[in-house]
Each structure stands twice: as C-alpha cells, then as structure tokens.
Structure 1
Amino acid sequence: MSEKSIAKEIYKGTFWSILDNFVKQVFTFIVFIVLARLLAPEIIGLLAFAMLFVQVFRNVIFDSIATAIVRKSVPDKTDYNTGFVLCILISVPAFIILFLSSDLFETWTNSMGLSTVIKGTSFILLTAGLSRMHEAWLQHQMNFKSLAIRSSVATFFGGVLGIILAYKNFGIYSLVAQQVGTALLELILIWIVTPWKPKFEFSYQAFREIKSYGKHVALTGLTNFANQNSDSFFVTYYLGAAANGIYSTGKRIVSTLNTVISASLLRVSLPAFARIKDNTEELKNTFLQTTGITATLTAPLFAGLSILSKDITLLLLGDKWLESAYVMQIVTLTGFLFSIGYYNQSVMLVKNKPQWQTRLTILYALTNIAAFILFTKYGVIYTALAFSLRALLLYPLSVWCSLVLLKCSFKEYFRQLFPSLAATALMVILIYFLSLYISTLSLTIRLVILIFTGILSYLFFIYLFIPKSYKNKLKKVFARKKHD
C-alpha cells in the first residue's frame, strides 16, 4: 500500500475515531458539569478514585490482549476467539474480587460511600470483557465509523439517564448509573454492528503469542496507568477525597481532550503503521507527517486551555471549583506531550520493541511515584507541578527511541514541531496581554473575544512559519475552490 493511501486511511480513521471519542467525552463531560454543580468535591473524588480500579483492568489487561492481536498484519479468527476467551476468563474473577473487596478499600481510605461506588462501577469489568475483542476486530479493519456510531448512541442514552437522575437528587448514583448504563448499551450495540461473531475456541499457540507480546504491553499499560493516575491515588491517601475531587476536576478537561484526540490517534496509528512497518523510509515519513499535523492541531488547543483555565472553570463549574483552575493550568502541558507521544509508542510496538516502551514507562512510573511521595503532602498544586515537570524532562527519551528505530534525526523531528510551537508561543503572548486589557468585561464576553482572537492569531502565525511547499499547496486548494 502506498504512503499516500496509508495517510488517507489514517486521516479517515482519525476523523471517525475522534468523532467517536468526541461525542462520548462531550456527553460524559456534560453530565460531569451537572453533577459538579450539584455535588460536593469529596463526592466527585470518590467516583474518581473508584474508577481507577475499573480503568486499570481495561487499560492494562484487556488492551494488552487486544493490542497483541491488532498489531499483527493479518490476525485470523483463532486469534480473536482466543483473545475473547481470555477476556472472559479475566473479567469474571476481576469483577468478583473488586466487588467483594470494596468494603476494605472504604475502610482503608476512611472514605464513607466508597464501597457502594466501587460495587456499582465493578459491573463495567464484565461488559468490557465481553466487548473488547469486537472493538479490536473493527479497529484492525479500520472500521471506526461503526465504533463511532455505537459509542455515540450509547453515550447519548447513558448521559440522558445520568442527567435525569441528577435532577432527581440521586447524587453520586447519577454518575455511576451513567457509567454503567453506557457500558451496557455499548456492549449490546457492539455485538450488533460487528460482523465477526466470537466462538469459544482456544488456541494454545495463539495464547502463547498473545502472552509473549502482551506481557510487555500489559506492563507498559500498567506503568502508563501509574503515570497518569497514581497522582489521584496519592492525593486521596495524603489529602482526602475532597482534595482528590479538586485535583481530578482540574485534570478533567485536559483528560477529556487527551482522550478525544490522543487515544483516537493511537487507535488509528497502530494498525496503519503496522501495514507499512517493513518499509522504514515510508514509516518514517508517515510518522513525521502525522506528528507535525497533530502538533499543529493540539499545541494551540492545550496552550489556549491553560491560559484561559480560570475563566473556563468559573463559567462551567462555579466559584467552589476555582482551585481546580490552577491544577488545569499546570497539567495542560502533559496533554500536548501525550498527543504527539502516542506516535512514539506506536512505532515501538510495530517495530516489535514493546520492551523499549515498557522500560520507559517503568522509569516514568518510578519517577512519578517518587515525586508524588515527596510533594503531594504539600497540596494539589505541588502534585500538578511534579506530574507535569516529570513528563517534560523525560519526554525526549521516548522520542529518541522512535527516531532510532526509524533512522531519523532530532533535527528532522523538531522541524516538524517548530511551526506549531512558534505560532502557539506568539498566540499565548497575544492572548495574555489582551486578557489584561479586557479584564473588566463580563466573563462570557471576555472568553468569546479571547477564543476568537486566539484562533485567528494562530492561523496567521502558523501560516508565517509553515514551509513554503505547504503554502503553495494551500494556495492551489483555495484557487481551485475559487475557480469551482
């Protein structure tokens, strides 16, 4: 398949994958905003803590099985069936253990109500085990349209359920019902839209392949999970559920954007890169091109979110969540790094170097945990600073690994990032000084002015910095449209 065809599939798949995640995250975020205005921070903190247990199984165990299959050039039915059986064998005991141990976690953290929340969300493990291989099948077929439709429908009705229960004063159960209801409907729909139907067929050869490759992915997933979520654990342990509510809310918008954009890119780039993994030059060019385009989209987005974090928090959540704005302002840096860093992970996976990514994430996890132990006790701001600075200082190691595999230089890589970084820096400076000048205006009007100014100024600045070849292509496109 040609480089142009691969790029076309990536862009098409990215569109549907981003749409999938966008709709899901938008509805989830709407429900979250409603609940955040109705509930106290400690209640939000309880849910954030309880979901950690569900996420660790989904992101570590199920995804490692799926990734071991999706990364293959042509996986067969035996691979998918074996993966399906494995997911079932893991999800059932995982659900039972989590359900029965919920009281222990409540006692250990001294968080009243945590047991009930864990019991409710633990049912998601069963739906995840029954649906993960269907998702993997559609993912490898680049059929992200079906995934998007399924997710959109399920998230809509799950979100409606959560909002109705919130207005009927069901409190924390509103968000639990939204999570579980969405998961159940997603399970039903994925079985309907997926042509592949699983059988209880188990191949020891397929199992050995999944185990051999998946153990690296699982360890990577576990350490990635620790990198992205151990802060919430330590905040709850040292500072309590209320502080975790403040901290997790500050990360919420960044995490939502990161899920919409970055997770979508990983889902698309892994199977797309896998198809050209034997052609290093083609893979290198595709990697650089997609990294540059992603940075062009995400750098201004996360930078704008950082500088406008206080106004956004006041508008969406109200005064009681103002402390979350400072957390948001700091952790947005990691959102941008994650958005372009997922491509590094995909390169290492398709080049059969999952152990490289594993070693990196172990390093990240150890340094994160050490930083949180040292600084979390001083408050949520120090936790956010530790989280972001570690990501910034160690990110070049991930880039170096992918560049070695692609026989690419840092100069070529930075050349792809420079236009977006330079344009974003100028945009931020302009927005900052403009915000001082219009500080007396109403919150809504000020936000509208700053957002539109940011968009227009970034488009102007990025046009100044992009290579001449890109400018010529843009001129041809506009000339063709004008002629038509």
Structure 2
Amino acid sequence: MAESLKEKTAKGLFWGGLSNIIQQLLSLVIGVVLARKLTQDDYGMVGMLAIFSATAAALHEGGFISALCRKKEVTHEDYNAVFWTSSLVSLSLYVILFFCAPLIADFYQVPELIPLARFIFVGFFLSSLGVAPRAITFRKMMVRENTIVYITAQVLSGIVGITMAIKGYAYWGIATQTLVYVSVISLLNFYFAKWHPTFTFNFAPIRELIGFSSKLVLTNIVNVVNNNLFAVVLGKLYTTHVVGNYTQANKWNTMGYSLGSNMIIGIAQPIFAKTNDNPARQKQIFRKVLRFTAFISFPFMFGLSIVSEEFIVILLTEKWLESAHLLRILCIAGAFIPFSTLFSNLLISKGRSTTYFFSTLALCIVQLGAAWFSSPLGITVMVWIYTAVTISWLFVWFFLARKNLGITILEVGKDVIPYFLLAGGIALMAYEWLMGIPNMYLRFILKLFVAGSTYCLALWLLKSTIFKESIAFLLKRELNA
C-alpha cells in the first residue's frame, strides 16, 4: 500500500506540474494578447466584480467536493444530491445577484457594471453543474484527466477572449472568456467522470455532508473576500485604472504561485485522508511534500520577482509598468502561499474544518483592516503590508499543523529554510549583478539563466534528495515514453 500511495503521489505531482506548466504557458500567451489589446479600465471593470462571482461560486460548491473525498463509501445518491443542491442554490443566487446588480454599480459608482454583472454571474451557475462530476475525478485522483480538462478549457476560452478583444468588445471579451472556460470544464468533467444525474430528488445525503461542508463554505467565502479585498478597497477609494493595474499584477502573481498550489491541491487532501490511520506515514508524506513545495515555489516566485519589470514591459508594453512594481512585491508573498495551501489541506483531511474556518477568518480580518487603514499611504504600502501579513500567518498555520500532525518548528525549518536561503540568495545575487545591463531583453534572459542554472547547480553539488528524485522520476517517464 505504501508503494502504491507513493506512486500515486508521484504521478499526481507529475501530472499536476505538467498541467500547471502548460496552463501557465497558455495563460501567458492569452494574457499577453489581451493585455496588449485591452486597457487598465477594462481589467478594472471585471476585477470589481470578481469578489461577487467568487463568493457565489463558493456557496454553490458548498464544500461538497472535500466532504465527499473524506467519506469512506460514496454512492450515486450522494453525487446526485450534490448535483441538484448545487444547481438549485446557484440558480437562486443568480436571481438574487441579477436584481442586486444596480446596487453593486451604485457602490462603485460605475453604471456600466449593471449589464456586465448580470452577464458574468451566469458563469457560477454553469460552473455549479460540474460540481458532482468534479468530486468524482478529485476523489479518484484523476489528475491526468483534469489536465486535459483545464488545458482544453483554457485553449477554447482563450480563442474566444482574444477574438472578441481584437473585434473591439473590450471587457466583454474577458467576461465571455470566463463563461466559456467554466462551461467547458463542466462538460468535460461529466465526460471523464462517466456519470450523469438522475431525476430522483433525495436530499438525505446532504444532511450527512452539511456538517463538515458548511464550515468549508464559510471558509471559502472568507478566502474569496481575502483574495479580492484589494480590488474592493481600491475600487471604492481609487479608480478603475488603479484596480486594473493591481488586477494585472495579481493575475501574474496568482499564475506563478498556482504552479505549486495546484500541484498540492491535486494530491494532498486525498493522500492525507488515506493516511489518517497511520500518523507516522502521514507525517513522512507531509514533510516530503513540504520540501517539494519549497524546492519549487521559492526559486520560481523569487525568479519572477527579479524579472517583473522586464517581464511586464517586454510582453505587455510600458503602459503596464505600474503593475510591474506591484508584481515584484506580490511575488514575495506568492512564494509562501503554497505552504498555506498545504497546511490547510492537512486540516481539512483531518476533519478540522472549524479550525480551518476560524484561522482563515482571522487572517481575512487582519488583511482587511491592514488594507483599509494603510490605504491613505498608497497601493505600494498596502501591498507590502499584505505581503508581511501573509508570511507571518504561516506561523499560525504551523501551530495548527503541529497540533494535528506532531511536527516541530525545527523539522519545518529543516525542510523549508535551506531552499528559502538558497533561492533567495541566488535571486538577489542575479538581480544586483545584472540590473545594470542596459538592454532589457538581454537583462531578462541573463537573469533567468544565471539564477536558474546556479540554483540547479547548487542543488546538485549539495546532493539534494528532492532534486535527485525529481530528475530520476522525469527521466524514468521519458524512458517509459
């Protein structure tokens, strides 16, 4: 069983990593084209509505995917009840938000948001239709199939978004892209899950799941608020132009740290749930994933931070230069976010949804208060404070993990700090040595090459186990192919 679990974890990380790399490359191409065609105001319009769509999505998902993952035996009746509950809840939410669109527009004092909101909000209803089949693919760790799902959705939605942007539809192109994306995901999840709903309305399974899932819903809503509070505060106190710059910077930062976070989400919770009866084995797996997260997240995000200006100007043109300065700071916070994802997945797998909720709620309150009180000092200071709070909160996550896993601060430090110091030191060295190169293109290439090659060489000389195992696994798959 241990070997089987190890193989599942390795394959999950491989496919999760491959999926994320391809998705980020596609997002890069699509994002560059859209950013060159659209303005800060276009992104700002959509950014102002993100919190409402994401909150509604959290409500219709209901935490059912995680609840079903934890359940020992799952039947068709369970999935069917989840399908109809999610669909009915999301339809009700859409009707409410449809009539609330004028109030949202009044809050921001942007009348154009009324029709845009009513259009964008259709997306969370379409997404709700795929909750039950997504629960099946997640529970079965069908990471390869999920790779196909999300890449296909990204390609098709990207084509639609780019076409509409070229045709001059402005922010409507971004909105339509989102709707196509969630629609394709829902359809393909049904295809791979090999499941379909039936017209039998038995909601008894929901009563069994709701105790655990309801706390996850509240937590997800808090997470949504926390992730989008800057757009709300900026939209209320500043202009759509400022919101657009922040939205652009945060989009690239999110794409960056998602490389690590999404790999973890794909395997962590199912693996932890399967090893709840073996604490020693679970701790061993947790520490290994922790090291892998540090191995991937620090060099990638610190690398993106030191080339943020060149990256933005070369790809998106100088009109987005303001967002480059924000991206440099956000990447520092982004380097630590995958660790929060890992800790939270551990808590969920342990059934500690209440603990997870209160920790996330406290973080949201602190972030919201910090953003509001620092807003007179400007967006740069706000982002620095956000970064400091994000990193500091890892100690809270560690404390909760220690209680539920028996891990010590020395063990976490031993797993994480070497990669932090190595990646951070190399990034600073590359930035200081090469920042004086006048040619932006050459500077961009050299920063990445010097930092990346130095990091790999250092890991090889230090005989890093994670580095060697990753190379061996990739070579093994290459040979098998």
- The answer, yes or no, to whether TM exceeds 0.5 is yes
Corresponding position of 2:206: 207
User: Aligned in 2, Cα 1:105/1:476: closer, same or farther, shift over 3 Å?
Assistant: closer
Whole-angstrom distance in 2 between the partners of 1:284 and 1:372: 36
Whole-angstrom distance in 2 between the partners of 1:34 and 1:423: 35
1:245 Cα deviation from its structure 2 partner: 0.6
| Aligned residues of 1:344 and 1:398 also touching (Cα < 8 A) | yes
Corresponding position of 2:460: 463
User: Aligned in 2, Cα 1:257/1:374: closer, same or farther, shift over 3 Å?
Assistant: same
User: Aligned in 2, Cα 1:49/1:20: closer, same or farther, shift over 3 Å?
Assistant: farther
1:465 Cα deviation from its structure 2 partner: 4.4
1:259 Cα deviation from its structure 2 partner: 2.9
User: Aligned in 2, Cα 1:250/1:470: closer, same or farther, shift over 3 Å?
Assistant: closer
Give the counterpart letter for 2:449 in structure 1.
F
**1:221-260 deviations in whole A, cap 9, x for unaligned?**
1222222211111111111211111111111111112334
| Aligned residues of 1:239 and 1:379 also touching (Cα < 8 A) | no
| Aligned residues of 2:283 and 2:407 also touching (Cα < 8 A) | yes
| Aligned residues of 1:431 and 1:454 also touching (Cα < 8 A) | yes
Listed as ranges, the matches of 1:33-52 within 5 Å are 33-52=32-51
Listed as ranges, the matches of 1:344-355 within 5 Å are 344-355=343-354
Q: Does 1:274 align with 2:273?
A: yes
Using the aligned pairs only, state the percent identity.
19
Bigger CA drift: 253-262 or 397-406?
253-262
Secondary structure at the aligned position of 2:435 is classed as helix
1:202 Cα deviation from its structure 2 partner: 4.5
**1:99-150 deviations in whole A, cap 9, x for unaligned?**
2222221122112422222122111112111111111101111112222212
Corresponding position of 1:120: 119
Whole-angstrom distance in 2 between the partners of 1:220 and 1:466: 40
**1:283-338 deviations in whole A, cap 9, x for unaligned?**
00000001101110110111111111111111122212111112111111221211
Listed as ranges, the matches of 1:25-424 within 5 Å are 25-62=24-61, 64-424=63-423
Whole-angstrom distance in 2 between the partners of 1:103 and 1:480: 57
| Aligned residues of 2:253 and 2:330 also touching (Cα < 8 A) | yes
| Aligned residues of 1:51 and 1:121 also touching (Cα < 8 A) | no
Corresponding position of 2:447: 450
Give the counterpart letter for 1:140 in structure 2.
R
Bigger CA drift: 199-208 or 82-91?
199-208
Bigger CA drift: 298-307 or 219-228?
219-228
Whole-angstrom distance in 1 between the partners of 2:393 and 2:318: 35
Q: Please, what is the CA RMSD of the aligned residues?
A: 2.5
Whole-angstrom distance in 1 between the partners of 2:474 and 2:323: 43
| Aligned residues of 1:294 and 1:340 also touching (Cα < 8 A) | yes
Give unmatched runs, 5+ long, in structure 2: none
Bigger CA drift: 16-25 or 140-149?
16-25
Give the counterpart letter for 1:168 in structure 2.
K
Give the counterpart letter for 2:454 in structure 1.
S
Whole-angstrom distance in 2 between the partners of 1:134 and 1:326: 41
Whole-angstrom distance in 2 between the partners of 1:462 and 1:171: 46
Give the counterpart letter for 1:11 in structure 2.
A
1:17 Cα deviation from its structure 2 partner: 3.1
Bigger CA drift: 323-332 or 204-213?
204-213
Bigger CA drift: 337-346 or 292-301?
337-346
Whole-angstrom distance in 2 between the partners of 1:464 and 1:358: 43
Whole-angstrom distance in 2 between the partners of 1:289 and 1:216: 28
| Aligned residues of 1:419 and 1:466 also touching (Cα < 8 A) | no
User: Aligned in 2, Cα 1:305/1:474: closer, same or farther, shift over 3 Å?
Assistant: closer
| Aligned residues of 1:35 and 1:171 also touching (Cα < 8 A) | no
Bigger CA drift: 135-144 or 187-196?
187-196
Q: How many residues align?
A: 478
Whole-angstrom distance in 1 between the partners of 2:466 and 2:181: 42
Whole-angstrom distance in 2 between the partners of 1:119 and 1:15: 39
Whole-angstrom distance in 1 between the partners of 2:59 and 2:89: 12
Whole-angstrom distance in 2 between the partners of 1:412 and 1:472: 21
Bigger CA drift: 389-398 or 70-79?
70-79
Whole-angstrom distance in 2 between the partners of 1:478 and 1:144: 17
Bigger CA drift: 280-289 or 328-337?
328-337
1:471 Cα deviation from its structure 2 partner: 8.3
1:478 Cα deviation from its structure 2 partner: 12
Give the counterpart letter for 1:463 in structure 2.
W
Whole-angstrom distance in 2 between the partners of 1:479 and 1:44: 42
1:266 Cα deviation from its structure 2 partner: 1.4
**1:392-435 deviations in whole A, cap 9, x for unaligned?**
12211101211221112111111111321121122123212222
**1:430-471 deviations in whole A, cap 9, x for unaligned?**
21222234x22x21221111111111111122334455x668
| Aligned residues of 1:70 and 1:271 also touching (Cα < 8 A) | yes
Whole-angstrom distance in 1 between the partners of 2:54 and 2:445: 36
Bigger CA drift: 347-356 or 12-21?
12-21
Provide the TM-score with structure 1 as the length reference: 0.92
Give the counterpart letter for 2:274 in structure 1.
R
Give the counterpart letter for 1:110 in structure 2.
Q
Provide the TM-score with structure 2 as the length reference: 0.93
**1:266-290 deviations in whole A, cap 9, x for unaligned?**
1321112111111110000000001
Give unmatched runs, 5+ long, in structure 1: none
Whole-angstrom distance in 2 between the partners of 1:350 and 1:471: 28
1:75 Cα deviation from its structure 2 partner: 2.4
| Aligned residues of 1:24 and 1:151 also touching (Cα < 8 A) | yes
Give the counterpart letter for 1:277 in structure 2.
N
1:60 Cα deviation from its structure 2 partner: 4.8
Whole-angstrom distance in 1 between the partners of 2:80 and 2:282: 30
Give the counterpart letter for 1:393 in structure 2.
S
Secondary structure at the aligned position of 1:340 is classed as helix
